[in-house]
Amino acid sequence: MSNWTRNTKKIGELATGHELTIPVYRFAGTDSNAPRVYIQANVHGAEVQGNAVIFQLMKQLEKLELQGDITLVPLANPLGINQKSGEFTLGRFDPITGVNWNREYQDLTPSLSDWFEAHKHLPTEQFIAAYRQSLLNSCHQQLDSPWGVTTGRRLALSLQLMAHEADIVLDLHTGPKSCKHLYCPEYTRDAAGLFSIPCVLMMPNEFGGAMDEAAFYPWWQLTDYVVSRGMTMTPAVEAYTLELGSQERIDMQDAADDCEGILAFLANRGVIKADIEPKAMARYSCALADYRKFHSPMGGLVEYLAAPGTPLSAGEPLVRILRPDRFGESEQQQTLCLPEDSIPVLHFASASVYQGTELYKVMTKYTRLS
């Protein structure tokens, strides 16, 4: 007998009346006290590799001893995934509103002083369950608003409903042209050494509309409030965004490596019963505030010289910009550098750019983790 089920969840309707649906896989654990996990992939249309990782994970989960329940949602944004133009997939922004699909999630943190006063008498387990229920209720309230809800918000809230049921949330993305990197909340720094991911961005207690933040921020806010009242608490939920290489790419072997990393993390957290060592590799981290964008000082055609994932000293070549319209002048070809030592993490996918295009994102002031 298999240990999983597949359901189809409706997340919207097209003009023709066709339903937008996503597949929801549920693997049942044996221990109701073990952490519950929610994993989704492909909310940005071109970022398909997370689906391959979910596929590899499910192949392993069929064979492994599961303690906690695991819910997996590949192909989480059908509208974005099917938004093709020529040979490329767009699917980063809702085409109607222009909003990034990964900025539609909602901060559902209640008014903490009121909520705390009403619930502080509860024992820890019930206190946590009541807080989770308040997040779920707010989610339902927004979805059921008599004023309706935008297409993008409906998708986000539908996904968020499943995420708030979990103790561990993994949102699988990729960069444009990118090395693997992890967004990790500061309070669970130890997780950075478990995934098969070399570059780690340490996130502060702030909310910007992404899935990982929607999952961890209300719990981090609650924890800080409880601690400010002289009590002890650690956040009951942890959430991460895993950026698994470049967009428009499926690599099953690489997916198997990332599957191992996720299993090492899940084994460490008691979700699966298995002895899986994290991969030995050089890992680097920096604070999110030190993850800097480099914008092109001019328009032109770009040769990307710095390889994502390889440390680059200040003054070493980053990009070369070609301007065929300026042949014979000093602007015909220019090499640009960064003023600080860095690790380039990702660069823009296209070789033609406007002035001001975000060419690279780089880690600065980084430290070695392992």
The smaller minimum CB distance to Zn ion, of residues 44 and 347, is found at: 44
CB of 320 to Zn ion, least distance (A): 27
Q: In DSSP terms, which residues pair with 370 in a beta bridge?
A: none
CA distances to 118, 326, 329 from 334, in Å: 63, 11, 11
Q: Which stretch binds Zn ion (CB under 5 A): 37-45, 76-84, 120-128, 331-339?
A: 37-45
The smaller minimum CB distance to Zn ion, of residues 34 and 210, is found at: 210
CB of 360 to Zn ion, least distance (A): 17
The single residue listed with the structure tokens 């519950």 is 36
CB of 103 to Zn ion, least distance (A): 11
The smaller minimum CB distance to Zn ion, of residues 47 and 254, is found at: 47
Chain centroid, CA 360 distance in Å: 19
Strands of 4-13's sheet in order across: 4-13, 19-27, 70-73, 37-41, 168-175, 238-246, 181-185, 199-203, 284-287, 367-368
Q: In DSSP terms, which residues pair with 320 in a beta bridge?
A: 303, 335
CB of 63 to Zn ion, least distance (A): 30
* CB-based contact 219:136 (threshold 8 Å): no
CB of 252 to Zn ion, least distance (A): 20
44 forms part of the interface with Zn ion (CB under 5 A): yes
CB of 61 to Zn ion, least distance (A): 24
Chain centroid, CA 91 distance in Å: 16
* CB-based contact 40:214 (threshold 8 Å): no
DSSP for residue 144:
T
The smaller minimum CB distance to Zn ion, of residues 27 and 101, is found at: 101
The smaller minimum CB distance to Zn ion, of residues 44 and 177, is found at: 44
CB of 356 to Zn ion, least distance (A): 21
The full 3-state SS of 62-90, as one line of letters, equals CCCEECCCEEEECCCCHHHHCCEECCEEC
Q: Which stretch binds Zn ion (CB under 5 A): 17-25, 44-52, 117-125, 299-307?
A: 44-52
The smaller minimum CB distance to Zn ion, of residues 40 and 138, is found at: 40
Report d(CA 349, CA 85) in Å as an integer.
15
CB of 249 to Zn ion, least distance (A): 13
Q: How many residues bind Zn ion (CB under 5 A)?
A: 3
The single residue listed with the structure tokens 């920096």 is 286
The smaller minimum CB distance to Zn ion, of residues 47 and 212, is found at: 47
Element (H, E) at 113: helix 112-119
CB of 343 to Zn ion, least distance (A): 19
Site for Zn ion in 146-205 (CB under 5 A): 173
Q: Which stretch binds Zn ion (CB under 5 A): 43-51, 69-77, 104-112, 266-274?
A: 43-51
The smaller minimum CB distance to Zn ion, of residues 152 and 193, is found at: 152
Q: In DSSP terms, which residues pair with 225 in a beta bridge?
A: none
CB of 43 to Zn ion, least distance (A): 7
Residue 168's CB is within 10 A of a number of other CB atoms, namely 23
Q: Which stretch binds Zn ion (CB under 5 A): 41-49, 162-170, 194-202, 258-266?
A: 41-49
The smaller minimum CB distance to Zn ion, of residues 185 and 300, is found at: 185
Rounded to 5 degrees, what are φ and ψ at 78?
A: -60, -35
The smaller minimum CB distance to Zn ion, of residues 44 and 132, is found at: 44
DSSP track, 172-228: EEEESEE--EEEEEGGGGGGGGTSS-SEEEEE-S---S-HHHHHHHHHHHHHHHHHH
Q: Which stretch binds Zn ion (CB under 5 A): 34-42, 47-55, 68-76, 216-224?
A: 47-55
Residues of this chain that interact with Zn ion (CB under 5 A) are 44, 47, 173
